[in-house]
Chain A
Amino acid sequence: MIQIATGDSRPIGKQIVDAVRMKIATGELESGDQLPSVRGLAQQLTVNPNTVAKAYAELTAEGWLEARQGLGLYVAPPRQRLSDAERARRLDEAIGRFLNEVVALGYPHDAVQARLLHAFRALVPRKTA
């Protein structure tokens, strides 16, 4: 189940993109699984179908999903979806954002690292197992 919240600083389309990526990353959605139809997901979330269509288009362009003619959208087989440079850039960006938030909280570095490790372990049981 994908869930969204209004009032979030992330637009609804972005929330859908993030949720699908997260489900693929954690293995909750596997390669070959079918996604809800645009209309179906829009109705389930009570959002404009165009918002879902745009989110799906982004996920497809990034290689997370693939369209099968006349059948709908499926999770694409895993492969490296971004160029090395783009991956590195996004990682830097994400770390920058994370640091900004976390530094302000004043925890010692090793405490933060331990928590982070813990969160990663909880997140990807299949991949690290």
Chain B
Amino acid sequence: MSDPDYVVQTVALSKRYGRKLALDRLDLQIPRGRIHAIVGANGAGKSTLFRVLLGFLPPSAGTAHILGRDSQRLTPADRGRIGFVNEEHTLPGWVRVDAVVRMQRRLYPRWNEGAFAEVIGHYHVLPEQRVGQLSRGERAGLNLALALAQSPELLVLDEPTLGLDVVAKRAFLESLMYSSAAERCTVIYCSHQMEEIERVADNLIILERGQLKNMSTPEDFCARVTHWVADVPFKGPEPAAVPGLLQVQRLDGLYHYLVLDQDETFAEFLRSCGARSMQSMPVGLDRAVNGFLAKNHAAPAAA
């Protein structure tokens, strides 16, 4: 079953590579409209999720629907409703830009020449150039222009701005946020760049080891994380006893705790551990997400 209000719906979706579980009974529902950012450490399952959703990979268990269709049974018409840009911006290097455009125009019945021109106009791409002669930023722009000209209902972007310089990145984000074609579609976008996500995302989805860990606005996620500094003489509490602990550091004799979902009662906890003074402060998105992901990040077993 699938609900038309969601562009993506997975139920207990798992994908196993040998002994490794890339998606672990993932239940994810992404509502239609707006820009959704997916973040997660490397190996959290983002790319696997995209591959399953786009029908490139079969799930090991569970179901995945995209635009209301079973992702394993997408027809060419369904695919026409989905734009996809991946980090490598893969197109054969020998092909000329105008030839790619001609091909796409023929393939997609809802091809929108105006949308293509609006996006590609940000880049110095000439029709007679071969894809292999374009810079990384130009290829990213070309791919985004091609995807948006499809007039997709859903645009999926896998780390689209990786390796772009500041100018190319800005042009890319502008097309994503302000072009008329992008306004009409739902965007799902994965990235590691928090300063970009802060600007772009309406909704922040955090995946960790193939499971959903957060789905909220970026501000609401930030508000879940607080940074406490406490002056605890002698030894602080055992890390395992600290509620909601994401990270602890001892700097210049003060304990710095990054904690999740703790309110003012955390001060009482610190006091009960012998803290003489303490204060809390809000953190930015970058710190909040990094702290969150660092908690369970793989590390060699302690010596």
Contact = CB atoms under 8 A, between A and B. Distances in A.
A106 interface: no
Given A42-B177, A46-B170, A46-B174, A12 B198 contact: yes
B35 interface: yes
Given A43-B174, A48-B177, A50-B34, A9 B284 contact: yes
A48 B200 contact: yes
Interface residues of B, number: 24
A42 B198 contact: no
Nearest to B33: A50
A48 B202 contact: yes
B222 A11 contact: yes
A46 B195 CA distance: 11
Contacts of B34: 50
B173 interface: yes
Nearest to A4: B199
Nearest to B221: A11
Contacts of A51: 199
Contacts of B170: 46
Interface in B42-83: none
A50 B195 contact: no
Nearest to B283: A9
B contact patch SS: helix
Considering residues A8, A12, A48, A100, which has the most beta carbons from chain B within 10 angstroms of its beta carbon? A48
Interface in A50-78: 50-51
Given A9-B281, A11-B218, A11-B222, A47 B174 contact: no
A14 B219 contact: yes
Contacts of B218: 11
Contact of A46 (B173, B202, B281, B286): B173
A11 B35 CA distance: 17
Nearest to A101: B279
B201 A48 contact: yes
A7 B195 contact: yes
Contact of A47 (B194, B199, B286): B199
Interface in B183-227: 194-195, 198-202, 218-219, 222
A39 interface: yes
A9 B199 CA distance: 14
Nearest to B279: A100
Nearest to A50: B202
A39 B198 contact: no
Considering residues A10, A11, A104, which has the most beta carbons from chain B within 10 angstroms of its beta carbon? A11
A48 B199 contact: yes
Nearest to A8: B284
B94 interface: no
Contacts of A48: 35, 177, 199-202
A6 B279 contact: no
Contacts of A47: 177, 199-200
Contact of A7 (B200, B201, B279, B286): B286
Interface in B138-181: 170, 173-174, 177-178
29 contacts: A6-B195, A7-B195, A7-B284, A7-B285, A8-B284, A9-B282, A9-B284, A10-B282, A11-B218, A11-B219, A11-B222, A11-B285, A12-B199, A13-B219, A14-B219, A39-B178, A42-B177, A43-B174, A43-B178, A45-B199, A46-B173, A47-B199, A48-B200, A48-B201, A48-B202, A49-B177, A49-B178, A50-B202, A51-B199
Given A7-B198, A12-B199, A50-B34, 14 more contacts: A7-B194, A7-B195, A7-B284, A8-B284, A9-B282, A9-B283, A11-B198, A11-B218, A11-B222, A14-B219, A39-B178, A42-B177, A48-B177, A51-B199
Interface of A: 6-14, 39, 42-43, 45-51, 100, 104
Which 7 A-B pairs have CB atoms at the shortest separation, nearest pair first?
A: A6-B195, A11-B219, A9-B282, A47-B199, A6-B198, A9-B284, A7-B284
